[in-house]
Chain A
Amino acid sequence: MNARNKEPRLVRIYVDGREILAREGENLLKALKEAGFDIPSLCYYDKVSPSGSCRLCLVKIDGRPDPIPACTLTVEEGMRITAFDDELEEIRRIILDLILSELGCNCLTCDKNGYCLLQDLAYRYGLDEEHRLFTPQFRGLPKDTSSPILIYDPNKCIRCERCIKACEEIQGKGILSFAYSGQNIIVVAGLSSWRESLCDGCGECIQACPVGALLEKPSIRKGRIWEVRKVPTTCPYCGIGCQIEVWVKDNKIIKVLGRDVPPNYGSLCIKGRFGYEHVNSPERLTKPLLRKEGKLVPVDWDEALNFVARKLKEIVNKYGPDSVFIMGSSKATNEANYILQKFARVAIGTNNVDNSARLCHAPTVAGLKRALGAGAMTNSIEELEKTDCILIFGSNTTENHPVIGAIIRRAKRKGTKLIVVDPLRTELAEMADIWLRIKPGTDIALINGMINYIITKGLEDINFIKRRCKNFKELKECVAKYDLDKVEKITGVTKEKIAKAATIYAKAKNACIIYCMGITQHVFGTKNVLAIANLALVTGHIGREGNGIYPLRGHNNVQGACDLGVLPDSLPGYVSLGDESSVKRFEEAWNTKIPRKPGLTLTEAIKAAIDGKVKAMYIMGSNILLTHPNVKLVEKALRKLELLVVQDIFLTETARYAHVVLPAACWAEVDGTYTSTERRVLRVRKAIDPPGEAKPDWWIVCEIAKRMGRSIGEYSSAEEIWEEIRSLVPIYSGITYKRISNIGLQWPCPSEKHPGTKFLYAKRFNTPDGRAVFHPVEYEPLPEQADDKYPYLLIIGRSLFHFHTAHMTRRSKPLGEYIDLPYVEINPKDMEKLGISDGDKVRIVSRRGSIKVYACKSERTPPGILFTTFHFSEAPANKMTEYVLDPISKIPELKVVACRIEKE
């Protein structure tokens, strides 16, 4: 790692008689451009290896007989370069003339008009008809319009290879290539057409195209560059926090581009780039709805807000504040979530506040906090590209966190060892150096076995353990029971493979662990997380650059919601309710009395509602009916409530049960911040006006508090809320809107001078004595096993093309063109056994319920195991899951359920 990060030396080079300083080894063209020599080029793209195919950046180097493209050279001390002379300029002009003659394109109707590299150069060199040597010929080559997301027009293509290299080198997919030769050369996807190729629509190629050959299909003829407003903001989907630029025309989003800043450096996935059509959907909520005579009818804000305030007050007075449960939103901003939990604690007076982390990373918060001191990703996303070994547990990264998936593919290409633990043959499993196809839910046995093997072989980092950890003896005793023979039996993975994986991980100079829902969504989720922490600690793969634990968070702001106390047991900044002095600080600031008793989690609140203990629920941006296990149970709970308020952007399945529905402004319509999975606080900016009367979340909540007579503050902007947050939350203290206007900062960032924290625990862990704690954990079997009646294990996850209950993604046309029907992946052997074929309608039946889906032949699942997603409301997978909780974090068993398949 050190060698790769060495700071380059500044050396002198001489260009056109001028002496300049440049970094040794830097690409020469880049260095020359930075020094102000505006050498023309078309094919150079600094994110990929140079092609040297356009030949425009030819320069003369002393000592070389012929001109050579600057982009193919690197800076060497003492180089003498001619960047501009008559001969070079003449060559450049003729080459440009040649490429123009080949294309015969027309800027009048081109979407790229105004930001096309070729147009810029033609203008610069004055290549109008009069000055051209060759007459352009429009060749009328057929376009490839088959892709849902883009159009490829070979008549505009300069064959620069940027798209091909972007697909191969940035995304690691290698779907594009040149076909044919000579003047017939074109770019093709896969073997023939884009639609039939493996292209998954990330759009990296479009972003790389310097001309109008590749264009976003949904954006064509929607607006040209000078007609749009470009708003930098943060992607609303997963927790990576990709930075995007939203193009707005007439209060409509017409295009999304990736911004060239951390963490994504321009890359996006199909959801981020093409999943924006929900924003301008006609189905958006535009007016408050109030249930009158059993029907939700539009009312004005005053009526709705007054109704909610009055009812809440009544219920608090009648049943006490703990009869109210408040659900935060991991999609909403930090500011909105902070206000919501403040509302719970100040206006209602309860700690009954939670967010959807309960259904995903509650075990991470609980587990990593116990072991290391903070429930967050220890290191930064970009370190993954430079580490020597990546060990992945239960994460289909390339689909669920696609931009990180691309980073892993890149790392693999550069030689990073990849080990994947997953029952499913995911894309990364396929390309891994070692793939441990464990039986679902046997991670603890596997990890304990690995640790045991590491200790018996003396591969543990004994210095690190002695210096920085405690409880090692207990761990050693615990894992000693897990010899590889036993582990092989439990996990179904051969002991040789386990030993090899353990050895590679332990011996790697730098190693990272990534994990996701395959680890956490179990009744032993917290134990799983603790086991992972044990493994990292035993080998000392933590607390250094390129060494850490990466829980990948699923929502754009699930990290922020947790950070800001939308949790029943902690206040903003993870202040425990038992931490008297800190709680007092909040009481003073909020001018209120905060109950010391931890509140109910979401999963507990559902039970309490059924039991009649919770009478009112206030849900901000969460579709719990479909995301919580056992839909029937949730339905029952919601029906029993005296008041259900849902604040959302669409009339979700949950909202249909509400007494009041409040229309919220969405991600593109508000200012604020998100905190990404790598603890990076990122700006969210208002790009367009909300539809109808929809309002920002924080405004609505503040209004209700005010109307209850328990004001939680007067704010005129999100920034004012942020200022209050950073005055109360030390890890956020140094972060201001101004500082993160371009690039986000990573917490902890205690002061305005602090640069933010790239990785945690460099010197001490965040525990009282600064030591990490080993928590020995024992393997336990899944609560539901396959049996005669329910012979299959169903794994529930997500697809690349949709997000959660899909209210956002199914309203974006391009995404639906990839997948728009509920499906279950079945191994061909099982299909044969069941007598069903690809595309048949089948019913998946569990002990709780059943859904109708289409059978999909898949080699990703082994025999005996099925896979489905919870995206589709017509087939809600959580009808089948069981309400059974992890005793520590209260996460339900959402991942695996026993079922059978019936032919329709």
Chain B
Amino acid sequence: MRIRSIEELRKLIEREKRRLSSYKYRIYVVSASCTHPEVTQGLLETLEASLEDIYIKDEVLVSPTGCLGVCSRGPIIRVEPGDYVYVHMTPEKARRVVYEHIIKGRPLKEYLDDNVTLFLRKQTRLVLRNVGKMNPERIEDYFAKNGYLALAKALTEMTPRQVIEEIKRSELVGRSGSAFPTGLKWEIVADMKDYPKYVIANLSEGDPGVFSNRALAEGDPHAIIEGMIIAGYAVGANKGFLYVRSDYKLALKRLRIAIEQARRYGLLGERILNSDFSFDIELISGVHEFIAGEETALISLIEGKRASPRRRPPYPATQGLWGKPTLVNNVETLANIPLIILKGAKWFAQFGIKGSKGTKVFSLVGHVKIPGLVEVPLGTKLYDIIYEIGGGIPNGHKLKYVQVGGPSGEIIPGDKLDLPIDHKLMGSGGIVVFDDRTCIVDIVKFLIEFFMEESCGYCIPCRVGLVRIYEILDRITRGQGSLKDLELLEKLCTVLRKACLCGLGRSAPIPVISTLRFFKDEYLMHIEKGICPAGKCPINKSVNER
């Protein structure tokens, strides 16, 4: 079973490609957290049974697959060849798909959704290249997608330094929000003369409404693992930790299966592909805490301590896990690695704009026609994502503002949608669209409450400052705010921006700051006139009562 060389791997890849193309049709049933397992199971069984009935089971592949990112239209069945995405599936409808599409060769128009087709077609899926197109629980399917070829190439044709150079040339930056140049981070760890070193893959997705990492892990776990191994090779680590928040049960299950399979093929463990390089991955999970996404907090957590951010310096790259040089990368960052190694930095750099290369998976949610996962090249305009891909605002409402980059992202007013999203703006990839029925103060209060609840409580400005900010906002929504409160709000936000220990606290006041810039009038309406224009705040009640 163990693959001993790149040639053996190539043979395996060819075999698997042949196997898949030998099927006349491949039917993929989305089996991910967004669909109830019983529903998925029902669809799979129905499909199998229908095919059995007509004796063509051997000609058609029926397989579960990862989330296509249009969960609002689930359950979903995808049929290859072609790229037919059938939405709102039921067993009954699935049977019809078999009779019409598979037997008669006539795709069923009425089960397709043009909006969804456009939604998917307009994206550039690099990170999600295999998601929805393979069975994530079969490593052989991943082989058929040239899986582990990048690893083999790195191990047999490249030195660790060359790997790092390639990543540096690609201009890839961290995809979790901090946008730190990935190649540079690798280089710092590689330059350290302290051993052992560690690689940590961070799957502690915590921003509300953001689920791209989950979809990636559920749909293409091997891409993460392959990225980790290459990272380990580049920086000189032999041990990796893959942290997954424990409520991501399906992701955990698929990653566990993937790790076992990779071990069985000798792609993890001692002397990978008979090279001198050994690497293994330990899967770690913990009760979800927002703060665990912060890299130093994650390190504490893996060490068995409380997930609490640590002072910096020293940075994890020099003194991380157990004081040793540690590379911490987000799983989306890592999933980019095999592509860059296989196709080259130059190929990768064709995506995106100057200074922001590659793609980013956004979680488009809120008041938009088709919410879901959107992978587009960096530099894509916000307008295009919301209107061209997401289909615009439903029910005839007007877009009021958009929050980009998670709960601590900038809040962008509706008239500034031609903004290209670069790596500074992308944050964790959350895009929340708000229509004109929402109140800005109310939303900001909600966001601050979220941070207040999620603060670890370690440093004073974050622990106490957020409570005070929340109290001021609460006063304003009750019509008890004053102009002095606005001043105080600004002062406090500046202190948090400058003084908090970790990125959570430092970025928490961004929504306040950006709304005070673009929507100060709405705050003033609350304070001076006692009116909540959207009618959302308790202030109105008291006005009416008066």
Residues in chain A within 8 A of chain B (CB atoms): 50-55, 58, 66-67, 69, 72-73, 90-91, 94-95, 98-99, 101-102, 133-134, 158-159, 161, 177-178, 180-185
Contact = CB atoms under 8 A, between A and B. Distances in A.
26 contacts: A50-B311, A51-B458, A52-B501, A53-B501, A55-B459, A55-B461, A55-B500, A66-B498, A67-B498, A67-B499, A91-B495, A95-B460, A95-B499, A98-B461, A98-B468, A101-B464, A102-B460, A134-B468, A158-B460, A159-B457, A177-B306, A178-B306, A181-B454, A181-B456, A182-B455, A185-B458
B18 to A, nearest CB: 54
B308 A178 contact: yes
A185 B455 CA distance: 10
Contacts of A52: 311, 459, 501
B362 to A, nearest CB: 27
Given A66-B498, A69-B311, A183-B452, A95 B457 contact: no
Interface residues of B, number: 32
Contacts of A158: 460
A53 B498 contact: no
Contacts of B492: 94
A95 B311 contact: no
Contacts of A50: 311
Interface in B452-503: 452-461, 463-468, 488, 491-492, 494-495, 498-501
B464 A185 contact: no
Contact of B455 (A58, A66, A99, A181): A181
B546 interface: no
A102 B312 contact: no
A82 to B, nearest CB: 13
A91 B289 CA distance: 29
A159 to B, nearest CB: 7
A183 B456 contact: no
Nearest to B290: A181
Residue with the highest number of chain B CB atoms closer than 10 Å, among A55, A67, A73, A91: A55
Contact of B491 (A66, A94, A161): A94
B501 to A, nearest CB: 6
Contact of B498 (A58, A73, A134, A181): A58
B313 A98 contact: no
B385 interface: no
B401 to A, nearest CB: 27
Given A98-B468, A183-B452, A178 B457 contact: yes
Residue with the highest number of chain A CB atoms closer than 10 Å, among B495, B499, B500: B499
Given A91-B495, A95-B461, A98-B465, 9 more contacts: A53-B311, A53-B458, A54-B460, A72-B313, A73-B313, A98-B461, A133-B491, A183-B455, A185-B458
Residue with the highest number of chain B CB atoms closer than 10 Å, among A50, A51, A183: A183
A812 to B, nearest CB: 35
B456 A95 contact: no
B440 interface: no
B291 interface: yes
A51 B500 CA distance: 13
Contacts of A178: 306, 308, 457-458
Contacts of B312: 72
A53 B499 contact: no
A183 B461 CA distance: 11
> Secondary structure at chain B's binding surface: helix, strand, loop or mixed?
helix
Contact of B457 (A51, A67, A180): A180
Contact of A183 (B463, B495, B499): B463
Contacts of A94: 491-492, 495
Contacts of A182: 452-457, 463, 466
**6 nearest A-B pairs in the assembled complex, by CB-CB distance:** A185-B457, A52-B311, A98-B464, A72-B311, A182-B455, A102-B464
A185 B467 CA distance: 13
Nearest to A58: B499
B454 A54 contact: no
B484 to A, nearest CB: 9
A506 to B, nearest CB: 26
A455 to B, nearest CB: 35
Contacts of A67: 498-499
A181 B504 CA distance: 14
B464 A99 contact: yes
B499 to A, nearest CB: 5
Contacts of B456: 181-182, 185
A183 B467 contact: yes
A53 B453 contact: no
Residue with the highest number of chain B CB atoms closer than 10 Å, among A53, A58, A133, A178: A53
Contacts of A102: 460, 463-464, 467
A183 B457 contact: yes
Contacts of B311: 50-53, 69, 72
B162 to A, nearest CB: 31
Nearest to A99: B460
Contacts of B453: 182
Contacts of B455: 181-183
A718 B498 CA distance: 60
A95 B462 CA distance: 10
B136 to A, nearest CB: 34
Contacts of B291: 181
A619 B95 CA distance: 104
Contacts of B460: 53-55, 95, 98-99, 102, 158-159
B311 to A, nearest CB: 3
A90 to B, nearest CB: 8
Contacts of A73: 313
B499 A91 contact: yes
A182 B448 CA distance: 12
Nearest to B312: A72
A161 B309 CA distance: 13
B288 to A, nearest CB: 12
Nearest to A52: B311
A158 B494 CA distance: 22
Given A181-B289, A182-B454, A183-B463, A101 B308 contact: no
A403 B124 CA distance: 64
Contacts of A99: 460, 464
Nearest to B314: A72
B499 A55 contact: yes
A73 to B, nearest CB: 7
Nearest to A74: B313
A72 B314 CA distance: 8
B500 A159 contact: no
Nearest to A103: B464
Interface string B352-390: 000000000000000000000000000000000000000
B457 A181 contact: yes
Contacts of A95: 460-461, 495, 499
A747 B453 CA distance: 60
A53 B458 CA distance: 6
A72 to B, nearest CB: 4
Nearest to B457: A185
B21 to A, nearest CB: 53
A176 to B, nearest CB: 12
Contact of B463 (A51, A72, A161, A185): A185
A91 B463 CA distance: 15
Residue with the highest number of chain A CB atoms closer than 10 Å, among B461, B491, B492: B461
A572 to B, nearest CB: 51
Nearest to A69: B311
B317 to A, nearest CB: 16
A98 B495 CA distance: 11
A354 B484 CA distance: 80
A161 B306 CA distance: 13
Contacts of A183: 452, 455, 457, 463-464, 467
Residue with the highest number of chain A CB atoms closer than 10 Å, among B460, B492, B495: B460
Nearest to B308: A178
A182 B499 CA distance: 16
Nearest to B472: A134
A51 B460 CA distance: 12
A175 to B, nearest CB: 14
